[in-house]
Amino acid sequence: MTAPLHHVIIGSGSAGYGAAMTLRGEDADCMITMVTIDALPFYNRYDLPGVFRGHHDWRKLLAVPPARYDELGIKLRRSSRVVDVDGERQTISLAHQEDVAYDRLLVCAGGRSYLAENLIDSVGLMHGFGSFEAAMRVYRALPKGGTAIIIGGDMIGIDLALTLLDTGYRVVLIANQQTFWPHVVEPVERKRLLKALENKGMTIFADERPVGVLDTRNKKFSRAVALESGTEITGDVVMSFCGLSSSVEFMLGAGVDIERGILVNPELRTTNETIWAAGDICQIWHDKEKIYKFYHGWKNVRVMGELAARNMSGSHEIFDVEVEDRLDIDDDGNLRSTFWTR
């Protein structure tokens, strides 16, 4: 009798969760371990703006209760950071000095909000919004009716901004090239879209470059963003929403090819035949265009996670999704995006 295979999944987001459930469906006996930095099991992060609508109970966010992982024999290792992958020895190393061996590895480590180089020194004065805990910190830092300053404004940030306006807060948007990411928007269209946001009540700085965030706690507002022009914008919290940069650092010694994300073939396999990648972290070979492409968005990453899992179990399916990419304004002046899930 052969020993059951040990599948290790790095990441418990949409791709990792979909993959774990699919792996278990494909093979009742294999060992499945998910390793994640997250403190909470999987939930859909597009629900996070709901904290401003009173949704503060993390249990109600979860896709399935924690006990479900045990029932399915999926070992979920939370609050654990992978710092290295050795593709030859087939081991991952965790920050707390433990090595875990795998037969097949799926990397679903996603990406984090990109921050412009000149704002890195200000990171301690800004808020993130990538997890339930971070969203609650923003909620607590914003006084009722207070002002959020958003730098960039990708579609994740615009969604949050519209929720804030709808729930009685003020929003100042400092637009840049990443505004409306992942959509690519022509200049004329961009003007029209920004005007639509202004009509919703947003204050917009369209041609200004932020150069730093200031701690102004002893004044009326606790934060200010300094612009290159010399203007200072005051508010209660500052957040950057400028698209994603892939979380690939721990893969640098794994012996797989990396460009901006992990490069995979259409079967989502890397250049190491025991390692697959799925979700926001990977760039998939597009044979017609002869380039590796990102396919961001919740719908794509879930499909990828499930497909990678079937291929790890012996299939040879190809990721061949027609991605609908549309951003427009409806008759009531609301933005409509194919990226948004709600």
Ligand X SMILES: Cc1cc2nc3c(=O)[nH]c(=O)nc-3n(C[C@H](O)[C@H](O)[C@H](O)COP(=O)(O)OP(=O)(O)OC[C@H]3O[C@@H](n4cnc5c(N)ncnc54)[C@H](O)[C@@H]3O)c2cc1C
Residues that bind ligand X (CB under 6 A): 10-16, 35-38, 45-46, 48, 81-82, 108-110, 129-130, 156, 159, 247, 250, 279-281, 296-298, 301, 339-341
CB of 227 to ligand X, least distance (A): 26
Task: For 199, list phi and psi in degrees, rounded to 5.
Answer: -65, -25
CB of 114 to ligand X, least distance (A): 13
CB of 128 to ligand X, least distance (A): 9
Q: Hey, what are 99's tokens?
A: 């090595």
Nearer Cβ to ligand X (44/234): 44
SS3 call for 77: strand
CB of 234 to ligand X, least distance (A): 24
Nearer Cβ to ligand X (46/139): 46
Q: What CA–CA distances, in Å, run from 339 to 35, 54, 133, 298, 300?
A: 27, 24, 24, 8, 10
**Among the listed residues 171, 157, 176, 222, the one whose alpha carbon sits nearest the alpha carbon of residue 199:** 171
Nearer Cβ to ligand X (160/224): 160
Q: Hey, what are 317's tokens?
A: 């399916």
Nearer Cβ to ligand X (224/278): 278
CB of 2 to ligand X, least distance (A): 29
Nearer Cβ to ligand X (11/235): 11
Q: Hey, what are 96's tokens?
A: 């707390």
Nearer Cβ to ligand X (31/226): 31
Position 166: which residue type? Answer: D
**Among the listed residues 275, 271, 270, 321, the one whose alpha carbon sits nearest the alpha carbon of residue 295:** 321
CB of 327 to ligand X, least distance (A): 12
CB of 336 to ligand X, least distance (A): 12
Do 26 and 313 contact (CB within 8 A), yes or no?
Answer: yes
Nearer Cβ to ligand X (224/301): 301
Contacts of residue 208, Cβ cutoff 8 Å, sequence gap at least 6: 174, 227, 228, 229, 231
What is the rounded distance in angstroms from the CA atom of residue 167 to the CA atom of residue 145? 8
